[in-house]
Amino acid sequence: MLLRCTADERGTRHLVSDAHSDWYELARKCDWDLSYVDERDVFPAEVSGEPWLPGASWRGWDEPYRTSFHDYLTAQQAKESGIEALRSVLATHDERARIDRGWNAAVKLHSATLPLAEFAAVIGNLRAARFGRDSAWRSTSLLGALDELRHTQIPLKIAHQLVASDPQFDWAHRLLHTDDWVAIAARHMVDELLVAADAVEFAIATHFVFETGFTNLQFVGLTALARRVGDPLIEHMLHSIQTDEARHAQIGGAVLEQIVAADPERAQRLVDKWFWRSWQLFGIVTGFAMDYLAPLAARQRSFREFVQEWIVEQFDRSLRAYGLRRPWYWDEFVAALGNYHHMVYAAAYTHRASVWFDLAMPGPDERSWLAAKYPDTWAAYDAIWSCVDDRWSSAGPGVEWYTHGATPIGFCELCQFVLAGGSPEANSARVVVDDGGRTRMFCSAPCQWIYEQERERYAEHEGVVARILAGKAPPNLLALLRYFGLDARVWGRDVHGGLHPWRTGAGSTR
Amino acid sequence: MKEATLDDAAIPLHVFVRGDVLGLVLVVASSAQISDLAAGARTAAACRVPPTGRSSVWYAGVRLDPQLTIAQAGLRPLTRVDVVPEVDP
C-alpha cells in the first residue's frame, strides 16, 4: 500500500493511501443537509449524547489517522493471516503445558474478562456509527465495530481450541453468562460503558479514557511480559489487537475536544467517572498479571511503575492538553497504586474457588521483589502472606480449604468488586443510608460519588449480598459457588496445590 | 428452649478486621454480645490475619462495650463495624 502525506487546511498532517486519495476526503466527509426532518429527530440527544449541538458545530470533527475501507480490509487480512498461522500451531495443550502455570492463569483471566466485553464494544461502536454527529466519526466507528468483532473472535477461537484439555478455558465464553461475582461486576461496568452509553459518553469513556488512557497497560506492558515469559501466541495476539485500538481510540480525543468547548464540566465529570471505573478494572486484570501471575524472572517493572509511566504521566499530559483537571480523587488514586491490586489479589487468593482460574501464592523471592517495588505499603501484605504460608505449612499440600475463606464477602454497590479500598490499616469502605432507608456500602469515595451522580441508573441493581439477603442466592459457600456456575472441575486453586517450590526444596520461587 | 423474640433476629453486618484486605458479611444474632462478634470476625478472617489476642469493636468512631448485645449497641443491618486486634503491652 502506498501512503502519501497530506496536510489539511489547519496544517494537520495525514497519511492517506495514494490509490484512493482523490476521492477519500469527499467520501469521509459526506453529511447531508437535512431538509424535511429535524436534526434532533435524526440524532436524538438520548442516543447521540449531550450536550446536543447543531450539526454545523461538528463539521470540524477530524481524526488524525485515516484509512479507507479497502485499505482497512487489506491490512486486517494480513494481520488475520499472521495470527491464524500462530493459532494453528501454538494453541495446543502441549504448548500451554510448557508455559508457566501462573502465566496461564493470567491468560485465562484475560481470556474471560475481555472477549465478550469487546463484543459489547461492537454495539457501542455501531451506535456511534449511526448516531455520531459527524460522518467521519461515524465511518471511523464502523471500522471500530469491525475491530472489536475481531477482538472478540481471536481470543475465543484460541480458548476454544484449548477447552478439551483444560475446562477453565471454557470460561472465556462462559463468564459473562454466569452470576459469578466477577461476572456481575464486569457486566455492571461493560453494560453501562459499552451497551447503554450514548455516542458522546461512549467516545469519551471508551476511546479516550479506557483505550487511550489504559490499554497501553495491556498492549505494551503485557505484550512485553508475554515475550519474556515465552508465550508468542499471546504476545502476537495482543500486538495485533493493539494496532486496531490505536486507530479507533483516536475518536475519543476528537469528540472530547467538542464537548470541552461546549460543556467543560460535563466533559470533566465523564472523565472523572470513567477514569476511576477503568482504573479498578485494570488494577485487577493487569495488576494481578504483572505483580503476581507472571513468573518473577519475566518481570522487569512493577504494576505501579508501569501505571506511573504509561497512565499517570501520559494521561495527565492529555488532560492538560484538553484543558481538563486531574480527577478530584487524584490523591486517592495515587495511593491506590500501592494498595488496591494487592488487596484484591489477597482477597481473591483466599476465595479462589469463587473464580475460574488458579492463583499463585508469592514465594519468598517474589515477596522480596514486591517489598523492593512497594517499600511504602508491602509490609501489610507481607504479614498476610506469612499467615497464608503458615497455614499451608500446617495443612500440608492439597488442603486448599485451610487457606480459603468461608464467610460471605461484601461488595461495593457501584463497582461490584470486593470492599478492598484504602489499605489494610484503613479500609475506605463507607456506608450510606439512602432516601428509601436502604443501607448501601461503597468501597471508596469515588464509587459513592459516581453512584450519587446518577443514582437512578444504579439504584435497582442487585449485587451478590442483596441477592443473598433476598433469598435469590444461597448464603452457604459451596452452594454459592454452584450459583456462580463453578464446580470442582473448574474452580480456582493454588497453582501448585500447596506443593510450593520453596516448601519442597525445589527453589524459592515458582 | 428460649422462645424466639425480635432480639434474636439475624443481623448481617459489614465487618472489617484491621490488617485484613476486604470487608466480610457476618450474620449475627441481635442477642449476641459484641465480644461474640469480635470472635466471629477474627475466625472469619483467620486465613489472612492470625486470630490471636484480644480485639476491640468500633462503630461510628465509638469503641463498643464487649458486654453489650448487638441490639443494645444499635447496630443496624449492613452497617460497618471495625474489629481491631489489640497489641498486648
Mutate to test the interface with B, among A393, A419, A430 (most CBs of B within 10 A): A419
Tell me which residues of chain A have a C-beta less than 8 Å from any C-beta of chain B: 342-344, 346-347, 350, 380-381, 383-384, 387-388, 390-391, 402-410, 418-420, 424-425, 427, 429-431, 439, 441, 465, 468-469, 475
pLDDT score for A220? 81
Q: If phi over 0 gives left and psi between -120 and 50 gives alpha, with beta otherwise, what is residue B70?
A: alpha
Q: How far is the C-alpha of A164 from the C-alpha of A474, rounded, in Å? A: 31
pLDDT score for A509? 66
Q: What's the mean per-residue pLDDT of chain A?
A: 92
Percent of chain A residues topping a pLDDT of 90 = 78
CB contact under 8 A, A384 and B19: yes
Percent of chain A residues topping a pLDDT of 70 = 95
pLDDT at B1 over 50: no
Q: Which chain B residues contact residue A439 at CB under 8 A?
A: 76-79
What size, in residues, is chain A? 510
pLDDT score for B67? 97
- In this prediction, residues A432-453 reach a mean pLDDT of 93
- In this prediction, residues B11-30 reach a mean pLDDT of 97
pLDDT at A30 over 90: no
Three-state SS annotation for A270-329: HHHHHHHHHHHHHHHHHHHHHHHHCCHHHCCCCHHHHHHHHHHHHHHHHHHHCCCCCCCC
This complex has an ipTM of: 0.93
Residue pointed to by grid coordinates 456481575? A184
CB contact under 8 A, B47 and A410: no
Mutate to test the interface with A, among B43, B48, B59 (most CBs of A within 10 A): B48
The tens digit of pLDDT for each residue in A178-234 reads 999 999 999 999 999 999 999 999 999 999 999 888 887 777 888 999 999 999 999
Q: How confident is the model at residue B58 (pLDDT cuts 50, 70, 90)?
A: very high
The tens digit of pLDDT for each residue in A280-324 reads 999 999 999 999 999 999 999 999 999 998 888 889 999 999 999
CB contact under 8 A, A387 and B27: no
Nearest to B48 among A350, A408, A418 (CB): A350
Q: Which chain B residues contact residue A381 at CB under 8 A?
A: 21
Nearest to A347 among B18, B22, B49 (CB): B22
pLDDT at A442 over 90: yes
B87 in contact with chain A, both atoms CB, cutoff 8 A: no
**3-class secondary structure, A140:** helix
Chain B (19-78) residues lying within 8 Å, Cβ to Cβ, of chain A? 19-27, 44-45, 47-50, 76-78
Nearest to B22 among A380, A388, A420 (CB): A420
pLDDT score for A200? 98
pLDDT greater at residue A3 or residue A91: A91
pLDDT score for B6? 53
pLDDT at A403 over 70: yes
Nearest in space to A51 (alpha carbons), one of A199, A251, A212:
A199
Nearest in space to A86 (alpha carbons), one of A165, A26, A157, A173:
A157
Find, in chain B, the residue whose alpha carbon is nearest to that of A401.
B47
Q: How far is the C-alpha of A85 from the C-alpha of A110, rounded, in Å? A: 21
pLDDT at A1 over 60: no
CB contact under 8 A, A384 and B20: yes
pLDDT at A500 over 90: yes
CA distance B3 to chain A (A): 24
CB contact under 8 A, B16 and A429: yes
pLDDT at A2 over 90: no
Q: What single string gives the DSSP state of each residue in A241-270?
A: HHHHHHHHTHHHHHHHHHHHHH-HHHHHHH
CB contact under 8 A, A441 and B45: no
pLDDT at B2 over 50: no
pLDDT score for A503? 87
pLDDT at A5 over 70: no
CA distance B71 to chain A (A): 17
Q: What single string gives the DSSP state of each residue in A440-452?
A: EEESSHHHHHHHH
CA distance B75 to chain A (A): 12
- In this prediction, residues A411-417 reach a mean pLDDT of 98
Nearest to B76 among A429, A439, A468 (CB): A439
CB contact under 8 A, B23 and A406: no
C-alpha cell at A420: 478492598
pLDDT greater at residue B6 or residue B63: B63
Q: How far is the C-alpha of A242 from the C-alpha of A236, rounded, in Å? A: 10
- Which letter, b or e, does each residue of A93-119 get, where b requires 16 or more Cβ atoms within 10 Å of its Cβ? eeebeebbbbbbbbbbbbbbbbbbbbb
CA distance B23 to chain A (A): 5
Q: Which chain A residues contact residue B50 at CB under 8 A?
A: 387, 390
CA distance B51 to chain A (A): 10
Q: Which chain B residues contact residue A405 at CB under 8 A?
A: 24, 44-45, 47-48
pLDDT score for A63? 82
CB contact under 8 A, A429 and B14: yes
The tens digit of pLDDT for each residue in A380-394 reads 999 999 999 999 999
What is the interface size between A and B, counted as CB pairs within 8 Å?
A: 94
pLDDT at A345 over 80: yes
The tens digit of pLDDT for each residue in A33-42 reads 899 999 999 9
Q: Which chain A residues contact residue B14 at CB under 8 A?
A: 410, 419, 429, 431, 441
